Amino acid sequence: MDGALMLARRVIACLDVDRGRVVKGTGFTGLVERGDPVELAARYADGGADEICLLDITATHEHRATVFDLVRRAAERLFVPLTLGGGIRSEHDAALALRAGADKVSVNSAAVADPALLGRMARRFGAQCVVASIDAKRENGGWRVYTHGGRTATALDAIEWARECVRRGAGEILLTSMDRDGSREGYDLALTRAVADAVPVPVIASGGAGSAAHLRDAITAGGADAVLLAGILHEGRARIAELKAALDADGIPIRRIA
């Protein structure tokens, strides 16, 4: 891949939120509390994150509204784009999230239940605001889509579902490998590449980041437009500035830290 022709790749800090606190586990289980989401969001933005992604990981499973007040408080502290996911079930929910200060909304379970929701949201708010979140697990030689925070298996193939999401109006794909989530063993490059080759919109690689080399591989070998980080940041294993410096040294265009 010719770095001179590449657009700047984004490094996104992800905060999984449960009952108002940041948590992180492995393979969507074994959650451990990591801190206050507003404070962590501000810290990562100040440290060079290109975007912040807040995912209310239990809102859909618990059939409750998502954390709009949390979004409002975080948005007041941030100068980078903010995405909210989890518990977004309707255009009304998306409007509330955007009004609270989110720049994008991420939809997973509700889009599987009602694929037309993606189109309605894209027409009302613009495709650039609509992120289709796909949680995928390797099964039978492919990748199966899961919903409800990884609790519910669907009959959907992740590659075909990504294509359908884009046809419906999604402007971006947030692609999480459930097999790699929290593993620190690197992103699922085969999954990332398969989706990146299948859709004409940006793909965010998620699940498995453990080093700068993993970020590089997701971009170069996996074809990702952005990489999402969580555990290695929360645990202090890496800082965004260091990761971006390593990507820059590898010839990958990144947004400079002011």
Alpha-carbon distance of 150 to 75, in angstroms, equals 27
Is 16 annotated as catalytic? yes
Tokens 């793909």 found at: 203
Beta-carbon contacts of 167 under 8 Å, excluding residues fewer than 6 positions away, are none
Q: Which residue in the list 16, 50, 181, 225 is annotated as catalytic?
A: 16
Residue 177 identity: S
Q: Which of 135, 181, 188, 217 is catalytic?
A: 135
Is the CB of residue 196 less than 8 Å from the CB of residue 188?
no
The span from the CA of 20 to the CA of 7, in Å, is 35
- Count CB atoms within 10 A of the CB of residue 126: 12
Active site residue 135: yes
Q: How many CA atoms lie within 13 A of 234 on its CB side?
A: 24
Catalytic residues: 16, 135
